[in-house]
Amino acid sequence: MKKKLFLCPFISLVLLASLNAQNNYKKGYVITNDNDTIFGLIDFRTDAINATRCTFKSEQAEKTYYPGDIAGYRFSDEGKYYVTRDVTIDSVPQKFFLEYLVEGVMNLYYYDTTAKKYFFFEKDGKMIEISKAPDVERDRRIIQDNKYKNLISYYFNDYPSIVNNLNKMDFSQKTFIEIAKTYHDKVCTTGEECVIFENKHPDENSIKTAFSVYAGVQLQTYSLNSYSGNSYCTLKGTQPVIGGKMNLYNPRWSKSFSLQLDMSFSRFSFSQALPYFLEGESEFKLKAIIITGKLGAEYKFSLNKIQPMIGAGISYTHLLGDDSKFMVSEWSNSWQKYELRSPFVGCYLNIGASYILKNKHSIFVLASMEQYLKEDTSKENYNDRFKSYNIVLGYTF
């Protein structure tokens, strides 16, 4: 039952992210087929989604345009510019919103799918496709698709300044923009500006990272199991905890949902007499360094500057140190080594809130609970149990 309860928050996070992924409006405008411009807000999504639809919100209403419904659309601040074009992919004629990279003597467009990336050169109404398949591993080697270099050599054979640099060229927007600009410099002899439009942010990575550090207190409970396996004695303590975390997110998919990697450090120190435990007067002295790693998901609710957040995932705690010992007066008067159970594998749940500062950084307060599996038969003292609760204050850069 407890495992199911820990799964519920994680599943809820995924569902919330799926619902919220539909809202990421940015300032922009659409260009109608009559060449009229209408300003408003446009849903800024991934390259693959933006190639198939444009969700536009004006003062009147929200409307979704598909390739051919409008001539194109453009984001004002992000610089992304998409236009309707007919292309043939895998022998199938299709219509997409291609990302406009260069407009000039030879236009350059970009189209991205989850399986393949495409560049299209356009001159005199004719489209030239150059694509690249993803790298594959074969016989422990990475096989790259370099056919695009042969195509570039074929189409630009009369321009040595392009062909001679093929070995240095990678399959990127920056490379293809340079090819288009070099071509313009060679063929444009009118003295006029040949490059009318150029994407100023080529190869911009849509995956963003946010780094945080935090410090606080940790409430720890370590439950000792008697050798008979029938009774427990729980030791409780409070220790400082410090840590850091990294969040990976794609704002063009969801501004609220992120994957999270967390690492924290604390100490573990108990010294306590336990009457009638282990069949007599017992005393335990347990010491260790606690290292906890977490991998999970986080969801933030955007309420202007204040953002409540919830997170859940898998936690892994390791207790480092061999200075734990115990003594039972009825057995002997000497200390004996006690093997702490380690590592612990389980789940965690975070609840908190962050506040966005003027510099776009933020401070946050977070409460978390870590719950671990009851036993691990591969370890000594496998029935010992560990649980921790954290309250921390942090800063996100």
Q: Quick one: pLDDT at residue 226? A: 57
Q: Quick one: pLDDT at residue 211? A: 97
Q: Quick one: pLDDT at residue 90? A: 84
Which residues contact residue 120 at a Cβ distance below 8 angstroms, ignoring those fewer than 6 apart? 85, 87, 98, 108, 109, 110, 111, 127, 128, 129, 130
Residue 224: in which H helix or E strand, if any?
Answer: strand 208-225
Per-residue tens of pLDDT for the chain, all 397 residues = 444 444 545 555 555 555 444 568 899 999 999 999 999 999 998 888 999 999 999 887 899 999 999 999 999 888 899 999 999 988 899 999 999 999 888 899 999 987 789 999 998 889 999 998 888 888 888 888 888 999 999 999 888 888 888 888 889 999 999 899 888 888 877 766 666 676 777 777 778 899 999 999 999 988 877 554 555 677 888 999 999 999 999 887 777 899 999 999 999 887 777 665 656 677 777 888 999 999 999 999 877 789 999 999 999 999 887 677 666 666 667 777 777 777 889 999 999 999 999 888 999 999 999 988 776 655 666 678 889 999 999 999 9
Residue 369: in which H helix or E strand, if any?
Answer: strand 362-372
The structure's pTM equals 0.68
Closest CA relative to residue 280, chosen from 344, 226, 232, 229: 226
- Identify whether the C-beta of residue 279 lies closer than 8 Å to the C-beta of residue 237: no
Structure tokens belonging to residue 355 = 């506040």
Structural domains of the chain, with CATH: 24-196 (no CATH), 208-396 (2.40.160.20)
- Identify whether the C-beta of residue 360 lies closer than 8 Å to the C-beta of residue 396: no
Q: Quick one: pLDDT at residue 5? A: 44
Closest CA relative to residue 320, chosen from 338, 337, 340, 335: 340
C-alpha distances (whole Å) from 121 to each of 205, 214, 251 are 23, 50, 29
Q: Quick one: pLDDT at residue 389? A: 95
Q: Quick one: pLDDT at residue 330? A: 62
Closest CA relative to residue 53, chosen from 37, 65, 71, 45: 65
